[in-house]
Amino acid sequence: MKTLLQKVLVLCTILSASALFAQGRIITGTVTEANGPLPGATVVIKGTSTGTQTDFDGNFSIEAASSDVLSFSYVGFKTLDIQVGNQNSINATLEADNSLAEVVITGYGSRSRDLSTAATTTVSAGSIEDFVPSTSVDNILQGKAAGVQVTAANGQPGQTAFVQIRGVGSINAATTPLYVIDGAPIEAEFVNNINPNDIETLTILKDAATVSKYGSRGANGVILITTKRGRSKDAKFVFRSSIGTSERIADPFDLMNASQKLELERQYAALGVPQAQGLPGATSSPEELARLIGNDTNWEDALLRKGYIQSNSLAISGADEKINYFLSLGYDKNTGIIDRIDGFERISARLNTTYEARDWLTVGTNISASRSTTDLPRDRNNVQNPFRFLYDANPYETLFLRDGNNEIVTNADGEPQFNPTTSGFPVAQALQTEPETNTNFLLVANIFADLKFSDKFSNRFAVGTTTNRGRTVARSIAGGTLDPIVGDSNFPGTQRESLNVDFQYNVSNVFGYKDTFGEKHNISADVLLEYNERIFTRTNVSGRGFPSADIPFLDVAADFSDGGSTEVRNSLFSQGLFVDYDYDGKYLVSASVRNDASSRFGPENQNAIFYSGSAAWNIAKEDFMEGSIFNDLKLRASYGSSGNQNIGNNQFVNLIGFGTYNGNSSAVPGGIANPDIKWEQQFLADIGVEFGLFNNRISGVVDYYVKTSEDLLLNRPISGLVGDGNNGILSNIGKIENSGLEVALNFDAIKTEDWRVSLGGNIAFLDNEVKELVDGEDINNGNTILRVGEEINTFFLVEYAGVNPGNGEPLYLTADGDVTNQYSADFAKTLEGKSPLANIEGGFYGNIRYKGFGLRGDFVFKAGNYIQNFQRSAGVQIGNIDSNQRVEAFNYWQQPGDQNVLPNPLYEATADQTSTRFLEKGDYVRLRTLTLSYDIPSKLLDRTGLSSVRIYGTGQNLLTFTDYEGDPEIGIGSAENSGPGDAGFVAGQFSLFSYPQTKSLTFGVDIGF
């Protein structure tokens, strides 16, 4: 914001400069930076409004007197002042300002980084642009900011990611951070509808100094998205275009081909495995076997394809004396890798403007609209899911039905008929006859007015609204796969539609006071009033009986079979006071207090107060540091509280829902309410140091924090005898602690005119522990457990003890640790230190530039987490012999003495059980992006009228290093019953055939003029 103001001021001065009579002589010179001349730099006579700009070669000329001081400035560089004296020619070399960003946004305002007491990380536009194929903003954050754990939900195009800041701050309430775009809160689920090219910075608020200002919504951290503004005087056009392809990342294992699978069936049948007796491998004649082997269907080829990725955007920005504007259009498409359906498509538009209406009044708006459509494949743990099907389908079965002559069977319309296969579900057909499409229209509109009453008093009034209109249409086309099952033969074809309108508005007012006493005592105070309300409405209707599959509208349905509508609201009213003080920019102290009242809690617990205090010492500014290697050295500490209210509405009252029974109304008592539920509270202590050395060639930030989350709202499992329907009651049960060390470093290793090499990275070490539960009792969530003293969601499984070399029987450990050939769920034990949460997470990059050429690689890594590899278990499970298997399945026990083998298939009952057998380490390092780019030199562009042209190629997920038997990057295991919002959902707990990650190659060009 400060730079913007400077820029506007400078522009004003330039405009008026020509009208002024200058006295003195003409001074000429060149402004350069390390890489060469700096065009467009501002040269002003200090203390006046006289100034000019450098031309394309960095040259300038200005009339100035000997007593004048020339001030050279440019965005991203340190301002340099030079006394004119008796010089006629002045050459200025500007130093890049490498402290991450000059101004940091601190929540309800911004502050110079020097004067901030808070731990924040800013990801700027430059580093976002290298992540072109990512269509969602949250995915971009991965590996970019220390302490921000980003787990891609899955590989589905347009899918958002799970973002956690500084560990898991809650167990049952949502752990997604609060997203605020240009001052207006936005639900995390809509973030994928924001055009990443519109983003100027992503600021992550991590410590109490800033998150406490967000009170009850700050506990999971806050991500502030700031969109771009016009800066240059002339309109600047930026056009970006890229296209590319994506494909499934190859599995690190082999599936069986037709002859292998038939052979395994034969072997199993010969052993006497009952399920194998009727399988083709056991029963077929040699001729039949030969025919089946000949089929050898590659189901991946049959069901998947190369995805196509396309992105185009155009931005126009500029500024004038009183107005600035940024306008953009964007189009993105990612077909995804599932054949026969469309993937994700988005168009977006934005206009940001600011107008200085009076010298005391500035008004502005940020408005964006975007529309996206996504085809939703069925993410289920069954054959309806193409990603399960391609592993399960036997390679000796064919995509289309074949007759006795091995000719493809056609239907009445002459179209080939899909083979239902042994699974009974022709998924390739179902993808076409059971389409489900989601269309979202997102409108984010903010208005604000800044009033300046005097030098000391100011006020900002802002209204932010986000509206998402989501329409989902799911069809079962007549004659398709599911219609005969779920439909009604009298009414062929069904269609379900729902329309969700999610409207959120936020009215805020910040009244500011700023003053300086005795020249060095700077104080500022802000008073906040904020009201937030979210109104969600849903209408849904289903119809059946469609005369034609080509008309997917309910107007033509013969019968309406179902319908409904509902509304949900919640509101929050807040008051806050934020105070900052500094002494000469060296000693900084800040404090905040905020009161929140939420509709989500009962009358007794509606209000809560959150506070924070923080302090910092700018050591580099001390006199004794003069001339040291440090350009920047700051120590800071903060402590404060925040809350989490991300739970359902009306959970404090006993509710009666309604349904029907035999066509009449029925009452459905809801779960048992807990009238005493209150806010989850969080206390966050942080100490950090920020430093810059050797002209900021080396810079970094180190933070250590302890985050204690108390009164956690947990769905405490209760006895089924209560009969409440979900066997749980929401209670403020527990306490967990996250602590961690975060390090971020950047090193400009080589910096010459032609060469520039920089390296950097961040790493976060994270520890977490369950501290308290009610009465110290475990909370068992099936395969994971919450136990005092252990990590959150530590795995709770029966320990597998390998195969008895004598007879191939699978062995387990009893609860007492004795080896047994029995399996019992009672043997399950807490596996200390093994949880789905990573202990180490981060990213690193290397960037090499030679003249116009650039090569940048970004890696992300994660270590210390465990994953239940159910996909692998399905691929070798004895009971799954009717489905395809991994080649590994041949490695079963065959004769006494066999070791390191799979169990003897005759012991199916004890072998096919959930145990530690398929619990694997999830460590990985992945080359997230590798970009090779070339900037065409401006000399070559001079006559074209273009100001910049960059061409590049980017590969995403090209390399992965892991021991995990599958793809280790897992968020959602299966959306069937373990998606976000489902009880007991833990991101990355297991893999179960959700949409896999993809790798992609894109090529693009950015043109500026």
Partner 1 sequence: MKTIKTFITIFIMTLGLTSCDDELDIAPFTQGDADTFYNSVNNFEVAINGMYSSFFNYYSNGSGVQGLPDILSDNAIIARTGRGSNQVFSDFTYGANNGGYITSVFNGAYTTIRRANLIISQIENIDGEAERDNILGQALAGRAFAHLDLVRTYGKIPTQSADANASLGITYIKEPIDALSQLSRETVASNYENIIADLTDALDLIDETTLVDEDKVEGAFNKNSVRGMLSRVYLYTGNNQAVIDIVDEITAPLATRIEIPGVYTDSNDAGLLVEFAVNTASESNFNNVGVIYSQTIDGSTVSEFAVDFGLFNSLQFSDVRTNIITFAAENEGNDYNAINKFIGETEQVNGRVDIKALRVAEAILNKAEAQFELGLEGDALQTLDLLRAQRFSPFTIGTETGQDLEDAIQTNRRIELAFEGHRFYDLKRRGDAIERGTFGDLANGTGTPNTTQTLEAGNFRFQLPIPQAEINVNPNYTQNEGY
Which H or E element spans position 342? none
- Residue type at position 363: V
CB of 362 to partner 1, least distance (A): 14
- Residue type at position 128: I
Q: Which residue's entry shows tokens 């179960």?
A: 992
418 forms beta bridges with: 400
User: What does DSSP say about strands 25-33 and 92-93: parallel, antiparallel, or unpaired?
Assistant: parallel
Complete DSSP assignment for 8-42: HHHHHHHHHHTTSPP-SEEEEEEEEETTEE-TT-E
CB of 871 to partner 1, least distance (A): 18
User: Which of 723, 897 has the CB closer to partner 1?
Assistant: 723
Distance CA 390, CA 300 (A): 6
- 3-class DSSP state of 288: helix
User: Which of 725, 833 has the CB closer to partner 1?
Assistant: 725
Residue of 310, 739, 780, 948 interacting with partner 1 (CB under 8 A): 780
DSSP state of 6: H
Q: How much is the CA Rg of the chain, to the nearest whole Å?
A: 32
CB of 338 to partner 1, least distance (A): 21
**Which residues, numbered 980-1009, are part of the site for partner 1 (CB under 8 A)?**
none
> C-alpha 840: how far from its chain's center?
18
Does 668 participate in binding partner 1 (rule CB under 8 A)? yes
Which H or E element spans position 295? helix 286-295
Does 5 participate in binding partner 1 (rule CB under 8 A)? no
User: Which of 3, 459 has the CB closer to partner 1?
Assistant: 459
Q: Contact letters (x/-) for partner 1, 579-598, by CB under 8 A?
A: ------------------xx
Does 814 participate in binding partner 1 (rule CB under 8 A)? no
Does 436 participate in binding partner 1 (rule CB under 8 A)? no
Does 424 participate in binding partner 1 (rule CB under 8 A)? yes
**Which residues, numbered 867-896, are part of the site for partner 1 (CB under 8 A)?**
879, 882
Residue of 241, 437, 606, 938 interacting with partner 1 (CB under 8 A): 606
Does 656 participate in binding partner 1 (rule CB under 8 A)? yes
Does 321 participate in binding partner 1 (rule CB under 8 A)? no
Distance CA 76, CA 878 (A): 63
Does 660 participate in binding partner 1 (rule CB under 8 A)? yes
Does 485 participate in binding partner 1 (rule CB under 8 A)? yes
CB of 59 to partner 1, least distance (A): 44
User: Which of 573, 581 has the CB closer to partner 1?
Assistant: 573
Q: Which residue's entry shows tokens 């991300």?
A: 646
Span near partner 1 by CB under 8 A; candidates 166-174, 251-259, 418-426, 761-769? 418-426
Residue of 252, 272, 585, 725 interacting with partner 1 (CB under 8 A): 725
> C-alpha 768: how far from its chain's center?
22
User: Which of 237, 536 has the CB closer to partner 1?
Assistant: 536
User: Which of 75, 811 has the CB closer to partner 1?
Assistant: 811
Span near partner 1 by CB under 8 A; candidates 336-344, 733-741, 810-818, 821-829? 821-829
- Residue type at position 26: I
Span near partner 1 by CB under 8 A; candidates 37-45, 91-99, 366-374, 823-831? 823-831
**Which residues, numbered 238-297, are part of the site for partner 1 (CB under 8 A)?**
274-275, 277-278
User: Which of 213, 233 has the CB closer to partner 1?
Assistant: 213
Distance CA 718, CA 748 (A): 57
CB of 712 to partner 1, least distance (A): 17
Does 423 participate in binding partner 1 (rule CB under 8 A)? yes
User: Which of 537, 807 has the CB closer to partner 1?
Assistant: 537
- What is the number of other CB atoms lying within 10 angstroms of the CB of residue 926? 26
Tell me the CA distances in angstroms from 571 to 512, 528, 553, 600, 674, one per residue in order.
Answer: 25, 17, 36, 8, 20
CB of 479 to partner 1, least distance (A): 9
> Residues 798, 803, 804, 806: what is their CA dihedral angle, to the nearest 10 degrees?
160
Complete DSSP assignment for 480-504: SSSHHHHSBTTB--EEEEEEEEEEE
Tell me the CA distances in angstroms from 442 to 137, 439, 464, 467, one per residue in order.
Answer: 15, 10, 13, 6
**Which residues, numbered 699-718, are part of the site for partner 1 (CB under 8 A)?**
717-718
Span near partner 1 by CB under 8 A; candidates 122-130, 577-585, 819-827, 959-967? 819-827
**Which residues, numbered 519-578, are part of the site for partner 1 (CB under 8 A)?**
527, 529, 531, 533, 542, 544, 561-562, 566-571, 573, 575
Question: What are the backbone dihedrals phi and psi of residue 433, each rounded to the nearest 5 degrees, phi first?
Answer: -95, -10
954 and 861 Cβ atoms separated by less than 8 Å: no
User: Which of 124, 422 has the CB closer to partner 1?
Assistant: 422
227 and 195 Cβ atoms separated by less than 8 Å: no
Residue of 653, 815, 959, 983 interacting with partner 1 (CB under 8 A): 653
DSSP state of 162: E
**Which residues, numbered 190-209, are part of the site for partner 1 (CB under 8 A)?**
none
Does 940 participate in binding partner 1 (rule CB under 8 A)? no
- What is the number of other CB atoms lying within 10 angstroms of the CB of residue 744? 23
Residue of 286, 518, 663, 945 interacting with partner 1 (CB under 8 A): 663
Does 659 participate in binding partner 1 (rule CB under 8 A)? yes
Q: Which residues have CB under 8 Å from 128's CB, separation 6+?
A: 140, 196, 197, 199, 202
- 3-class DSSP state of 275: helix
CB of 650 to partner 1, least distance (A): 5
Distance CA 293, CA 798 (A): 39
CB of 880 to partner 1, least distance (A): 9
User: What does DSSP say about strands 59-64 and 25-33: parallel, antiparallel, or unpaired?
Assistant: antiparallel
Does 490 participate in binding partner 1 (rule CB under 8 A)? yes
**Which residues, numbered 727-746, are part of the site for partner 1 (CB under 8 A)?**
727, 729
Structure tokens that stand for 596 in this block: 């929140």
CB of 424 to partner 1, least distance (A): 4
User: Which of 163, 878 has the CB closer to partner 1?
Assistant: 878
Distance CA 141, CA 124 (A): 11
Does 672 participate in binding partner 1 (rule CB under 8 A)? yes
User: What does DSSP say about strands 161-165 and 199-205: parallel, antiparallel, or unpaired?
Assistant: unpaired
User: Which of 163, 273 has the CB closer to partner 1?
Assistant: 273
Question: What are the backbone dihedrals phi and psi of residue 792, each rounded to the nearest 5 degrees, phi first?
Answer: -60, 135
Q: Which residues of 844-873 are buried (b: 16+ CB within 10 A; e: fewer)?
A: bbbbbbeebebebbbbbbbebbbbbbbbbb
Binding-site residue total for partner 1 (CB under 8 A)? Answer: 92
CB of 155 to partner 1, least distance (A): 26
CB of 37 to partner 1, least distance (A): 46
Does 655 participate in binding partner 1 (rule CB under 8 A)? yes
372 and 136 Cβ atoms separated by less than 8 Å: no
Span near partner 1 by CB under 8 A; candidates 238-246, 549-557, 580-588, 777-785? 777-785
**Which residues, numbered 59-118, are part of the site for partner 1 (CB under 8 A)?**
none
